[in-house]
Chain A
Amino acid sequence: MDDLYRQMIVERHKHPLHRGELPHVDFEFEDENPFCGDHLHVMVQVDENNIITDAKFDGSGCAISTASADILMEYVIGKPLDVVKGMDKEELLDLMGIEFGPVRLKCALLSLKVLKGAVYGLEEGE
């Protein structure tokens, strides 16, 4: 249990800080992980300098994908869009501080995939 479900993951899953709606959305994207039925919607708001002023997610997913989304939202708020565009998966995995097997890795990385879809302005479903 300790390996995978560090208290933080469980806490984030039960009480996410960044789940919800944004009153004003500049970028958003939705995607799913059909293997497990996870569905994630990410919304981003930026200021005139393209700094992320707020970010939220909603959808349904497992504890890892929820915690990952919550941690990622927290991390990107206050950062320039370009920095987020340049983020790689190692950065997110470091933030989570947990090693994942190949199957759960997809859950852990769904949030980054959806966030990138948003900041690169992809159309939904692309």
Chain B
Amino acid sequence: MAWDAARLRDDFPALAREVRPGVPLVYLDSAATALIARPVLEAMADFETRHRANIHRGVHTLAEEATALYEQARADIAALIHAPDPREIIFTRNATEAINLVARTWGQANLKAGDTVLLTEMEHHANLVPWQMLAQEKGIHLEFIPVTGEYLLDLDAMQRLLETTRPKLVGVMQVSNVLGTVNPVREIIAAARAVGAVTLVDGAQAVPHMAVDVQAIGADFYAFSGHKMFGPTGIGVLWGRAQLLEAMPPFLGGGDMIRSVSLRSFKTNDIPYKFEAGTPAIAQAIGLGAAARYLQEIGMENVEAHSRALVDETINRLAAVPQVRLFGPGTGRQLASVSFTIDGLHPHDISQVLDTRGAAVRAGHHCAMPLHTRFGLPASTRASFSLYNQREEIDVLIQGILLAIDLFL
């Protein structure tokens, strides 16, 4: 499909609104939550109005239609990330729940006191806290791949850590939600597997912005969220290798995750149902399937090229503002997010001034407190870009920042 910016923007109903009279929305916070695409809304409305029924439970027409739509969504999502088998797609509430699922099931069953889990200093809290909780319970060790002064993972240090700590699991984000750094996950996973580690990739910031091929990456688990990829809230995905998933204990207990139940015991269902206890977020899953098809249609290469162009231009223009300190590895090395600080100017104030111009950015630690601590920053401001953003919006961002500097410094 040819890149048609105007048509693309039209696919996102929220872009039609004004933040206040005469001030159009400049949405630069897609890394937190992306806007929802019209085909997603339509798919959900179609389910709710015509096919709404529970899945896997009835033999009437609506139940069969609902089940077919839900399973089609699973297949479409598998196709987007090149999963070999739709049974490997487990619907969760979000990326956070997907990672917790791995910690609670695979981690519970396979980690014991003294084992090491290797993460990175740039992880989102979603890929830190579940392991910290497990560490407290089971006495496992946590180690961290350091982030260099250039905002990249230190791969030499990683190699040493792999050899000295022999981790049972390595967890890494593919794209940083703060720095925008695109980590060489394929290389990291290969190194981790060479020492026998199971690997988990947090793909929350990758799936919306670049082609993802879980088989090429070579990981064992891959987690992401629907709401960051133009889908609804309340739905996320854990992809895992079928063999591993089959060997794992179930997550939550209840309907759908069982094959048979007696008063005192149960037999678990096959994957993926084993991990989907209770009535799932059916409409949301169907919506996410539509989002996956939408992205496939546009082409992830196009999406990535567009995002990179906007990011690079933003970095260059921010670099020309003397008060701005960029927090990321720089042009050509960042995807989606551009974070920065300004001495003496709190991110909240920058964000508030930008809001008066209609621009939505994120201010704070972006659920990556350890990363901010590593660089001695209490907080930063982040502008994040997506397929519906356009160059004129960078003008609004830069003007707003200059205004904030003028006002407060």
- For the complex, give the distance between the alpha carbons of A104 and B353 in Å: 13
Q: Does B348 contact A (CB under 8 A)?
A: yes
Partner among B363, B369, B407 whose Cβ is within 8 Å of the Cβ of A5: B407
Q: Does A107 contact B (CB under 8 A)?
A: yes
Quick check: which of A19-27, A58-66, A71-79 contacts chain B, the rest being far away?
A58-66
Partner among B352, B377, B378, B408 whose Cβ is within 8 Å of the Cβ of A13: B408
- For the complex, give the distance between the alpha carbons of A1 and B352 in Å: 9
Assess the A104–B356 pair: CB atoms within 8 A. Answer: no
B320-351 to A contact mask, C-beta < 8 Å, 1/0: 00000000000000000000000000111100
Partner among A1, A10, A36, A39 whose Cβ is within 8 Å of the Cβ of B348: A36
Assess the B364–A39 pair: CB atoms within 8 A. Answer: no
Assess the B408–A36 pair: CB atoms within 8 A. Answer: no
Assess the A63–B378 pair: CB atoms within 8 A. Answer: no
For the A-B complex, the count of residue pairs with Cβ-Cβ distances under 8 Å equals 49
- SS class, residues of chain B in contact with chain A: helix
CB distance from A46 to the nearest CB of B (A): 31
Assess the B408–A37 pair: CB atoms within 8 A. Answer: no
Assess the B348–A60 pair: CB atoms within 8 A. Answer: no
Partner among B353, B364, B407 whose Cβ is within 8 Å of the Cβ of A36: B364
Q: Does B365 contact A (CB under 8 A)?
A: yes
CB distance from B101 to the nearest CB of A (A): 26
Those of B353-377 within 8 Å (CB) of chain A = 353, 356, 363-365, 369, 372, 377
Q: Does A34 contact B (CB under 8 A)?
A: yes
Q: What residues of chain A lie closer than 8 Å to B369, measured between beta carbons?
A: 34
Q: What residues of chain B lie closer than 8 Å to A122, measured between beta carbons?
A: none
- For the complex, give the distance between the alpha carbons of A37 and B346 in Å: 9
Partner among B356, B364, B377, B407 whose Cβ is within 8 Å of the Cβ of A35: B364
Q: What residues of chain B lie closer than 8 Å to A37, measured between beta carbons?
A: 347, 364-365, 372, 377-379
Please report B residues at the A interface, Cβ cutoff 8 Å: 346-349, 352-353, 356, 363-365, 369, 372, 377-379, 407-408
Please report A residues at the B interface, Cβ cutoff 8 Å: 1, 4-5, 10, 13-14, 34-39, 60-64, 104, 107
